[in-house]
Amino acid sequence: MQQNTQSAAVEPVSERDPVLRLSGISKSFPGVKALSDVELALYPGQVTALVGENGAGKSTLVKILTGIYQPDGGEIVIDGSPTRFPTANDAAEAGVTAIHQETVLFDELSVAENIFLGHAPRGRFGLVDWPRMNREASEILKRIGARIDPKVVLRELGIANKHLVAIARALSIEARVVVMDEPTASLSQTEIEELYDLVERLKGEGKAILFISHKFDEVFRIADRYTVFRDGEMVDAGLISETSENALVEKMVGRSVDTIFPQRQSQPGEEVLRVEGYAHPTEFADISFSLRRGEILGFYGLVGAGRSEFMQALFGVTRPSGGSVQIEGRAAEIRSPADAIHQGIVYVPEDRGRQGAITAMPIFQNVTLPSLGRTSKRGFVRMAEEFKLAREYTQRLELRAAALDQPVGELSGGNQQKVVIAKWLATKPKVIILDEPTKGIDVGSKAAVHEFMAELAREGLSVIMVSSEIPEILGMSDRVVVMREGRMVGEYPKDDLSPEALVRAAAGYGEEAA
């Protein structure tokens, strides 16, 4: 199919017809509008970079392109004719393929099997034609410059080679559109260079490439076009040659920061928490900071910068390999969450369903779990006391629920979050760590969480807020720590905060913060 267009010489960036065009695509989830009225065009032989903050809707778009999600509205047009991808297979048949951040491969199968899974060449009686499959696999691998034996079991390959297998798999289905979702996130510098070569080769073959990345140097090196998403909307698109890093950062961040956040006059008190030289064998190193009473300290960074890993070590979930913690001037040893809670440090995790709430159990039992010592008498539960405590704290958070014995899993995301926060406030903590506190909850609940956070700080609670949303970081924090690749790369007081500086520090672009 379309052999002649594919082999046609690659023209310089021009007004050729796009292979694939999305128009007016919208997608909502309960309580969240992930994409609204989005436009995107992908041209043969060109790389289009898609940039945007976490939560801007990039992943949702990838899932729509690959048939995993169905858009609520809008059109997918391929070669000028509207089409639909009811399943992932339909997308593959239409020539759209994706290489994900974390590749979906099978460790126990051979390289060739992974490449051809689901569309293996068949021989007589419909059995898999193994020699042909291995031959074709090795051709594809050669084409992308990978020196991998197709018969090897995938488990034996390193992460970079696994990535190449994923790319080979994408190419095995005669793809015309290749989506690369942060393909360099787990690669070393030399591997990244090889990937760039590969992208060039794919361009040469006339493929249309959608390249999703946080890293601006990358975008400017290999992309021909760009599209910027913010809060589920397409805010800008054009030719890379006609824009600049600064312009892209500004488009990404937007300018609606101070309007929606609560105004607060913070007067931080004495030091409550001091962390020095916290380190972990693999996830982070040399984290030092202090936190004062009534202060909100933001932790900004890209996904994978080690922020959550550090917070979980501070909360006692994982053991650090070095460093010390002082609480109100006294050295504290935190070896388990129970220790942390005892010391007055609590943690609201990002992954509510798995780490935060016990969704199958009633609201009141979730709230009282860490406070059972107070609601019980000599180890025996007292339901009336539990209801009393749960009522007190859920009321404060204006929880919406049918009853306090309703399972937490039946609540909306925002209300589940409120249950988790209520659980912690009931322990009367000194420091509360909120990890992506507003991720995946609707705008109204977001504002309520922000309002509440400000109120807690006003009452003297010290707050650590991990967030990947720049407006939230800027709008709420008294101070911001930026992390990149497991290390602190900067600490900014409120007055020195600018979205551009944060983005640059987090992405390692410009290097002025190092």
User: Minimum CB separation from another protein for residue 400, in Å?
Assistant: 5
Both tokens of 155, joined, read: 């488990």
* Cα gap 209→420, rounded to integer Å: 42
Size of site (CB under 8 A) for another protein? 47
Q: Which residues pair with 432 in a beta bridge?
A: 346, 463
What DSSP assignment string belongs to 270-331?
Answer: SEEEEEEEEE-SSS---EEEEEETT-EEEEE--TTSSHHHHHHHHTTSS--SEEEEEETTEE
- Work out how close the CB of 465 gets to another protein at its nearest, in angstroms, rounded to a whole number: 18
Q: Do 100 and 181 touch, CB atoms closer than 8 A?
A: yes
Among 64, 341, 425, 480, which residue interacts with another protein (rule: CB under 8 A)? 341
By C-beta, is 394 or 477 nearer to another protein?
A: 394
Among 391, 430, 458, 487, binds another protein (CB under 8 A): 391
**How many alpha carbons lie under 13 Å from residue 283 in its C-beta half-sphere?**
18
User: Would you say 311 or 497 has its CB closer to another protein?
Assistant: 311
- Rounded CA gap, 495 and 479, in Å? 9
Nearer to another protein, 18 or 356 (CB): 356
The one segment of 49-57, 76-84, 333-341, 504-512 that binds another protein by CB under 8 A = 333-341
Among 347, 393, 452, 509, binds another protein (CB under 8 A): 347
Q: Which stretch binds another protein (CB under 8 A): 33-41, 151-159, 409-417, 467-475?
A: 409-417
Tokens 């339909």: give the residue: 90
Question: In this chain, which stretch among 42-50, 77-85, 100-108, 411-419 interacts with another protein, using CB under 8 A?
Answer: 411-419
Among 97, 227, 308, 365, binds another protein (CB under 8 A): 365
Q: Give which of 118, 20, 137, 134 is closest to 76, Cα–Cα.
A: 20
Does 333 sit near another protein (CB under 8 A)? no
Helix axes 413-425, 443-458, angle to 10 degrees: 10
What are the two backbone dihedrals, phi and then psi, of residue 384, each rounded to the nearest 5 degrees? -60, -40
The span of 125-133, 147-155, 250-258, 351-359 binding another protein (CB under 8 A) equals 351-359
Closest CA to 137 of 122, 150, 156, 154: 150
Interacting residue with another protein among 310, 364, 393, 492 (CB under 8 A): 364
Q: Decide if residue 372 touches another protein (CB under 8 A).
A: yes
Q: How far is CA 2 from the centre of its chain?
A: 36
Query: At closest approach, how far in Å is the CB of 108 from another protein?
Result: 19
Which of these, 32, 11, 4, lies nearest to 443 by C-alpha position?
32
* H or E segment and range at residue 415: helix 413-425
**Strand pairing of 225-230 and 47-51?**
parallel
Least distance (Å) between residue 480 CB and another protein: 25
| Part in contact with another protein (CB under 8 A); list of ranges 154-162, 280-288, 378-386, 469-477 | 378-386
How far is CA 500 from each of CA 237, 258, 297, 339, 439, rounded to the nearest angstrom? 19, 16, 19, 39, 22
Residue of 109, 247, 361, 447 interacting with another protein (CB under 8 A): 361
* Interface positions, 15-74, toward another protein (CB under 8 A): 30
Q: Using CB under 8 A, pick the residue from 75, 258, 410, 451 that binds another protein.
A: 410
Which of 8, 10, 260, 338 binds another protein (CB under 8 A)? It is 338
Q: Fill in the per-residue mask, 419 to 448: x = in contact with another protein (CB under 8 A), - = not in contact.
A: ----x-------------------------
- The single residue among 131, 379, 459, 511 that binds another protein, judged by CB under 8 A, is 379
Q: Applying CB under 8 A, which of residues 5, 6, 326, 376 lies at the interface with another protein? A: 376
Positive or negative torsion for Cα 413, 419, 425, 427: negative
Q: Which two tokens stand for residue 215?
A: 């890293």
Alpha-carbon distance of 219 to 122, in angstroms, equals 40
What's the longest Cα–Cα distance across the chain? 81
Which CB atom, from 62 or from 420, has the smaller least distance to another protein?
A: 420
CB of 431 to another protein, least distance (A): 15
Piece in contact with another protein (CB under 8 A), picked from 61-69, 105-113, 332-340, 503-511: 332-340
CA 356 from centroid of its chain's CA atoms: 18
How far apart are alpha carbons 85 and 93 in whole angstroms?
9
The single residue among 42, 208, 222, 357 that binds another protein, judged by CB under 8 A, is: 357
Task: Give the CA angle between residues 83, 87, 93 to the nearest 5°.
Answer: 65
Q: How far apart are CA 220 and CA 7, in angstroms?
A: 26
Q: Which stretch binds another protein (CB under 8 A): 71-79, 218-226, 325-333, 337-345?
A: 337-345
Closer of 394 and 462 to another protein (Cβ): 394
Q: Which of 241, 246, 267, 406 binds another protein (CB under 8 A)?
A: 406
Binding site for another protein (CB under 8 A): 30, 315, 317, 336-338, 340-342, 347, 349, 354-361, 364-365, 369-370, 372-373, 376, 379-381, 387, 391, 394-395, 398-406, 410-412, 415, 423
